[in-house]
Every structure is written in C-alpha cells, then in structure tokens.
Structure 1
C-alpha cells in the first residue's frame, strides 16, 4: 500500500509543479498565467518581455481571461495590436455570413452578436409640395410630405406652419396622421401608427398670418426593411355657427418632421 501511495505522490508532484504551460517560451513571468504561447519565439529568456515581443503572444490567465498581443489581459477577451491613433492596426474580424460593407456589430437581448446594417437613431422627414384643404373637408388627404423609418419603434415630432385664405375669423380643427404604402391608397391611417395629432387653426388672413401645428405620434415599423410614411391631413371640424367657406393653403409644405428611435430593431 505504501508503494502505491509513493507512486501516486510521484505522479501528482510533477503535475503540480508544471501547472503553468509555456509554448515556445520558458519565461512565464507571472504566477497568474496558466498558458503562454509565443508564436514568434522571440520572448526574452528572462525578465519581462517587451511590448514588441508580446505583440503576437496568446495568454490565458487564472481568471479565464484570454489575451492576444498582451500578457496581462484584463477582460475575457483582450486584444492588443500595438496600433496607435496615428498608425492603427486592425485586430478584430467576424465572418459569420452577416458581414457586409458599412455594417455594424449589434446584439440581441441575450448578448448574441451579429453584423447588421447601420440603423440611425434619428430620421428627418422630407417636406413636399403640400395641398390645399377646405375647412369643410371631412376626409384625409396626402400632403405629399413623408418620413422614412427603419424597423423599430419611433416617436415622430410634427411641426407645421399653415396659412389660410379666409376673409372672416373662423376656427377649425384639423387632424393629422401617417399612412404607409398599404393604407395610402385608401387614405386611412397606417396600422403602425399609435395616436394622432389635432390642432385648432385660425382662418383669417387679415388678422393672422397663419397657424401652427405641433405634436408627436408613435410609429412602429414591424416590417423587415425601411418604410415610407406619408403625412395625411384633414378630417376638418369647423367651430363656427354659420358657414364660412375658406381654405388652408399648402398644408404640409413648410415645417419639420423628426423621428427619434425609442427601441432597438428586431434581430434576424
């Protein structure tokens, strides 16, 4: 039995003594390093290797950190290429099938990363020619103004300047919303839209140079690509007791549309 114990001890002691592994180097400078690979076999035989000597080295430490180009990794994957701001050196590449020119690396909720087209956090609308709308118009009409949005949820801020051609004071309520390609033909609001904007417009060209419309609408693009949303206006409700026919001029031609992303896009 004592011979068996001695044999086991002789086996275990060498294993404990060689718990650090060096490949192409015997100079492992830190007790925290478990594995040190020197591909170029250019590290000094003693002392601390220089930055130039470790630029291609690979190290795994006791915390499970992997260092490439460094013998002192501080995170799970630490890549140092010895590049500088004046002379950068690339050190990272993932070719998973999603890669394409100008794509960015994004992740889902679990942290799984993939390449994807850059999706900005803001978008600006394009003001169109606008359209004249009577203060008795009870349907929606396309103002020829649109904003294009990538997949995801957006808050769209609408700011419009509207002139009237009336000769007598007259208040009217006008409603605004957005239609996508599938709803534009019927001039109904897009199912992607949450909420509408209503504004009280003063129609008296002598007393007032015009009215303003300001508000926000949430739009969720659930499709797989960028989508156009056209600004609709109409559904006018007059607040006058007697008829006073007037027209609001070039609605949608002057002002601004801005959209801000309020969530991430859906991963592929």
Structure 2
C-alpha cells in the first residue's frame, strides 16, 4: 500500500507539472502563449512566423495575462489589432450600454474607472452667429441696451463666445459733435429688449456682466470707425438649444445729456464676426 501511495503521489506530481506548463490551442496544433484560438484555422503548424493576416483571426493570452485580439504578441492587458490603417481604418471596439451615440467618447463615471459613452462639450461643432437680420441702429438718450440684430443659437454646455463689431460716430445730430472718448459695453442676452441672463450662466471671476467692452474714439476719419472685440465663457443651461442675442449699451451723451446718438452700428459691416467654440468645463 505504501508503494502504491508513493506511485500515486509521483504520478500526480508529473501530471500537475505537465499541466502547469501546458498550452491550450483551439483550431491549432501550434498554440501561442498559454491560450490560443485560431478562428481561421490558418496558423502555421510549427514556429511563430505567423503572418499579419493569419493573426487577425486569433485570440491569444500570454503567461503575463496580456490578451490579444488579432495579434499573437499582445503588449498590453487588452491589445486589439484590426488590420486597418490611416487611409482605411477598421473599427475594433464596440460597447453597447445604452449611452452610445454620435460624437460620444468613452469616459469614466466613477473613481473606480467605470466607463460609459458620454458626449463631451469639446466634441461639439463650432457654431456661427446669425447676422441675417439687416440692422442699422444708433443709440439714443434713454439708457439701457438695444438689440443689434445679431444672435447665436447654442446647445446646453460650456462655450467660448467670440465677438467683433464695428461702431462709428454719428455724422449728424448732437452725438456728432461729441469728441471725448467713452467706454462702451456689449452684452449677451436671452432677451431682445433687456440685458437678461435667463438660461445661461456667465463664467469668470467678475460674474461675466459683460465680456465685451472697449473705448470709442473720434478721429478725423468720416464716421470715426471703431472696432470692439472680445471673448466670453458661458454655460448654457437646460436641455434645449437657446437663442442668445447681442445687445449694445444704449449710451447717452455724457455731458451735456441733451440727447442724440453716441454710436452707430450696422450688421452688414464686413468686419463683424460672432462664433462660439465648445469647451469642457
């Protein structure tokens, strides 16, 4: 009995040793790594000189735990080779979790590295403003703000809104005689009549009351053209696209306040621009 027990233990050790160093191959007599599936049954029977085409239908697991799909030499924990190139790429990964959609990226949703598809703001397209409303306006002495006729429609998210507008001094009336420089503001508003921020949040240390301002000067040029430009970061709230309008400070004559225009503006000025760039907060 003792001899039989010793034989049994010796045989078990041999079997365990053989199992520890064995390789498993499916559809191949020449498995690579500890586990190899040759889906196309086209691998060479000896050696490891597999062509790129032969590897494309393989699944391979190495002894370090790296798994390759389309390669017998995976360099990472999951290494996918599809055979595509920059001219004709071939997709090699798909995750269907209910959040998939156009222009979405795989993003983590927890500190544990759990991921899902998410539409980041930076993946949105640039949006151009609308100057189609022909608008030639001038300021008056009533204060407040006036709608320029320019607008932009933005979806929820964070945007850098870039603006440039050409102003000129009135050539007639009380304002035409005013020669002192003055400070002029331009606002983004969700109303065409008052400076309102319902539906969007200005971002920045000052609260974003106005992202656009500049000095208006009178020169010897007819109309004394001036250019006001700037950028403003805003967050559009809610779930629906929102129209945002460009309002101009309705500047009154500073001294004496006798009425008349302090500035003129026309949407057709070719220097004007309005566009928004999406960013991640």
Tell me the TM-score normalised to structure 1 length.
0.78
1:142 to 1:65, Cα distance in 2 relative to 1, 3 A: farther
What is the CA deviation profile of residues 173-219 of structure 1, one whole-angstrom value per residue up to 9, with x for unaligned ones?
33211123xx4565423442241033333468965432221222221
Q: Distance in 1 between matches of 2:233 and 2:56?
A: 51
Q: Distance in 2 between matches of 1:150 and 1:115?
A: 15
Pick from 21, 24, 39 the counterpart of residue 21 of structure 1: 24
What are the ranges of 5 or more consecutive residues in structure 1 without an aligned counterpart?
none
Q: Which residue of 2 aligns with 1:243?
A: 258
Query: Which of 158, 174, 178 lines up with 1:169 in the alignment?
Result: 178
Q: In 2, are the aligned partners of 1:203 and 1:248 still within 8 Å (CA)?
A: no
Residue among 205, 214, 236 paired with 1:199:
214
CA contact (8 A) 1:169 1:202 kept: no
Correspondence 1:27-46 to 2 at 5 A: 27-29=30-32, 33-46=33-46
Quick check: 1:172–1:236 contact (8 Å CA) kept in 2?
A: no
2:234 — aligned with what? 219
Give the Cα separation in 2 of the matches to 1:137 and 1:65: 73
SS class of match (1:103):
coil
Aligned residues: CA RMSD: 3.2
In the other structure, the counterpart of 1:107 is: 107
> 1:91-240 to 2 correspondence within 5 Å?
91-100=92-101, 102-108=102-108, 110=110, 112-114=115-117, 116=119, 119-120=123-124, 122-127=126-131, 128-165=133-170, 166-170=175-179, 171-180=181-190, 183-184=191-192, 186-190=194-198, 191-194=200-203, 195=208, 196=210, 197-202=212-217, 208-240=223-255
Task: Determine the structure 2 residue equivalent to 1:256.
Answer: 273
The secondary structure found in structure 1 opposite 2:177 is: coil
Query: Separation in 2 of the partners of 1:185 and 1:237?
Result: 17
Q: Would you say the 8 A contact 1:119–1:150 is kept in 2?
A: no
TM-score normalised by the chain length of structure 2:
0.75
- C-alpha deviation, 1:240, in angstroms: 2.6
Greater share of strand: 1
Unaligned runs of 5+ in 2: none
Q: Report the count of equivalent residues.
A: 257
Preserved CA contact (<8 Å) 1:192 1:222? yes
116-125 or 208-217, which deviates more:
116-125
